[in-house]
Copies of this chain bind each other. A is one copy, B any other.
Amino acid sequence: MLSREEYLIFGVSINNKYGEDAAEFAYAGLLALQHRGQEGAGIAVLSGNSIVCHKNQGLVSEVFSGEALKCLKSRSAVGNCMYSTHINNTDIVNNVNDITEDVQPVFTEYLTGRIATVHSGNVINAKELKAELMTYGIAFMGTSDSEVISKLIAYHSTKEKSVVNGVKVAAELLKGAFSLVVLSTENNKLIAVRDSSGFRPLCMGKNERGIAVASESCALDTNGFGFVRDIKPGEIVVAEDGKITYEEVVLTPKIKNAGVCIFEYVYLARPDSFIDSLGVYDAKVNLGKILAEENPAEADIVCAVPESGIEAAIGYSQESGLPLITGLIRNRYVGRSFIYPTQTQRENIVKVKFNAMKSNIAGKRIVLVDDSIVRGTSMKIIVGMMKNAGAKEVHLRISSPPVKYTCHFGVDTKSEDVIANKMKLDEICKEIGADSLGYISLDGLKKACGKCSLPLCVRCFENNGEM
């Protein structure tokens, strides 16, 4: 619903005693992260002194539907899947380079080794770093941040005569939100880095076979890697042959009012993931509870907008004592990428996506819970649908405050699209056709995520001043 470009990352290092199935772990890990990145996927593995990569546009299962996985035999792998609102589905003309330019991993060969790099997040000084690298005579083949990061690492790894030192110097130069995993031919190293603010999550798991790192802990669970801990802000962790050989917080903090992006809990992460000591499911249920405290309603039942509002609705139900009832059914075959083929019924996409459970809601006063309102057009149709199905009242409750400020580090909502930036609360309520409307407060939001072990970045909700 919100505009963003995102990469989900996974890396694994297996001990020599075990088989060469790193790519299969990466594959399963990417499947687990698929909810955040359906537009492209790739896996790179070490193969002797070289690196072999397979990547393409599409779902993880599509990119690896053929024989590719079988060819990626190795004990070390990195992978990513990506989401982008920018990607040109038509594939017709690609600016400057070929159609898979933006898909990671990025392979780079430099004087003393080869690396494959995956990263998530936004580096805000990429242009400046690129310009500086170019003054050394370094050329670029595309426009992606990942190429800048790769070449920065390669340049400094050459200078430092060590990939770990190269990554350290490079990471210190990068300003912004990033988690980074580098696969290196230098002694089979797998290097994981999290930016000094910890904007984007990155965690580590372990089993008898080796070490894995992932954007979300659910990707560790899938693979049978026991969760060990989150990578700390500014930390670099190195694994070799399935063992940690280096771990140290080395990057200096650079950005004020920074921390882990609260949107991870509100919107992005899978409920079964744990991020910086806080379970996403618990955070979402807490949001619902506080939402109920802050915005009670005279109602009979609580319903969720599936699937985005389910956990908050559970919390609202628990706090309010109102029973949680299935009020809407969601058609699983109408996903984010679904395009309605004709103009006439384009507005019907919401009608195709949701159906009201008449027998459950007729005659009822309903608290309807969702995680956000952007334009408000879908919500208007949903509320109308419930009223048509006989709902007596619909009290809309939203488990995040309205996004007010553009964020350069993560979720990028055009603020002019957000209905809350154009109308007052009562106007929105009227426009949508609800009987009452309540957002959680920013304080409530912070409180719900209070058990997070890191500071929270909430700059999209409040003016944090300069960076």
Q: Which of B34, B154, B281 contacts A331 (CB 8 A)?
A: B34
Q: Which residues of B contact A466 (CB under 8 A)?
A: none
CA distance A67 to B89 in the complex (A): 13
> Does any Cβ of B come within 8 Å of A64's Cβ?
yes
- The DSSP consensus for interface residues of chain A is mixed
What is the total number of copies of this protein in its complex?
4
> Does any Cβ of B come within 8 Å of A147's Cβ?
yes
> Does any Cβ of B come within 8 Å of A193's Cβ?
no
Q: Which residues of B contact A71 (CB under 8 A)?
A: 92-93
Min C-beta distance of A338 to chain B, whole Å:
6
Q: How would residues 52 to 72 of chain A score, 1 for a CB under 8 Å from any chain B CB and 0 otherwise? A: 111110011100111111111
* Interface hub of A154, A159, A356 (most chain B Cβ within 10 A): A154
A90-117 with Cβ < 8 A to chain B: 90, 92-100, 103, 106-111, 114
Q: Do B32 and A355 touch (CB < 8 A)?
A: yes
Q: Do B218 and A50 touch (CB < 8 A)?
A: no
Q: Do A159 and B137 touch (CB < 8 A)?
A: yes
> Does any Cβ of B come within 8 Å of A139's Cβ?
yes
Q: Which of B55, B94, B282 contacts A53 (CB 8 A)?
A: B94
Q: Do B158 and A137 touch (CB < 8 A)?
A: yes
Min C-beta distance of A437 to chain B, whole Å:
26
A238-290 with Cβ < 8 A to chain B: 270-272, 274, 279, 281-282
Interface residues on A, range: 35 or more
| CB closest chain-B residue, reference A19 | B344
Q: Which residues of B contact A150 (CB under 8 A)?
A: 139, 141
> Does any Cβ of B come within 8 Å of A221's Cβ?
yes
> Does any Cβ of B come within 8 Å of A28's Cβ?
yes
| CB closest chain-B residue, reference A357 | B272
| CB closest chain-B residue, reference A51 | B96
Q: Which residues of B contact A50 (CB under 8 A)?
A: 95-96
**With A138-B137, A155-B139 as given contacts, are A342 and B107 in contact (CB-CB < 8 Å)?**
no
> Does any Cβ of B come within 8 Å of A352's Cβ?
yes
Q: Do A66 and B52 touch (CB < 8 A)?
A: no
Q: Do B359 and A282 touch (CB < 8 A)?
A: yes
CA distance A316 to B65 in the complex (A): 39
Min C-beta distance of A130 to chain B, whole Å:
8
> Does any Cβ of B come within 8 Å of A2's Cβ?
no
Q: How would residues 21 to 62 of chain A score, 1 for a CB under 8 Å from any chain B CB and 0 otherwise? A: 100100110011011001000000000001111111001110
Q: Which of B67, B222, B279, B333 contacts A92 (CB 8 A)?
A: B67
CA distance A422 to B139 in the complex (A): 48
Q: How would residues 184 to 222 of chain A score, 1 for a CB under 8 Å from any chain B CB and 0 otherwise? A: 000000000000000000000000000000000010011
> Does any Cβ of B come within 8 Å of A463's Cβ?
no
**With A96-B52, A151-B139 as given contacts, are A134 and B110 in contact (CB-CB < 8 Å)?**
yes
Can you identify 25 A-B contacts, CB atoms within 8 angstroms? A27-B341, A35-B332, A35-B333, A55-B98, A56-B99, A65-B339, A66-B92, A67-B341, A70-B342, A96-B107, A98-B98, A109-B134, A109-B140, A109-B143, A111-B134, A111-B135, A136-B138, A138-B155, A139-B151, A141-B141, A224-B351, A270-B355, A272-B329, A281-B360, A314-B326
